[in-house]
Amino acid sequence: MNKRFIEQRESERRRLVIETDRESLQDLPAQTLDGHVLNLQANIEFPAEVDDAIRRGAEGIGLYRTEFLYLASDHEPSEEEHYGAYADALLPPARPATGDPHARSWS
């Protein structure tokens, strides 16, 4: 067999193992062995990524990159366009963002 093919197959196998391991951990509490609870937050670039972050166990948004507002437009985005992008990502349902130290869940 071709060495490159074997390397690609092994790389894919490792990726699947990592993905399986990660999925088995996603519903466990984010807590240290001594009981300290951590608030895990997702970094997103587009509002559509929020649902995937929720599915994977994120408790809020840690970093929301909004460069897409500039890259997908031929003009400087207005305050209303910025607000709309944030609202799409954070408002329905009420979702915590960084800066809310008491936020513990998406509900």
Q: What is the mean pLDDT of each run of 10 residues along the chain (107 residues)?
A: 85 81 76 90 89 84 88 91 86 56 45
Task: Indicate whether 71 belongs to any domain.
Answer: yes
Task: Indicate whether 44 belongs to any domain.
Answer: yes
Task: Indicate whether 69 belongs to any domain.
Answer: yes
Of 30, 92, 64, 85, nearest to 106 (Cα)? 92
Task: Indicate whether 64 belongs to any domain.
Answer: yes
Check residue 76 and report its DSSP letter: P
The reported pLDDT for the residue numbered 85 is: 87
Domain that holds residue 53: 31-90
Task: Indicate whether 12 belongs to any domain.
Answer: no
Cis previous bond, 93, omega within 30:
yes
Number of independent structural domains in the chain = 1
Question: Helix, strand or coil for residue 23?
Answer: helix
The reply to whether the predicted model has a pTM over 0.85 is no
Alpha-carbon distance of 79 to 107, in angstroms, equals 27
C-beta separation of 47 from 68 below 8 A = no
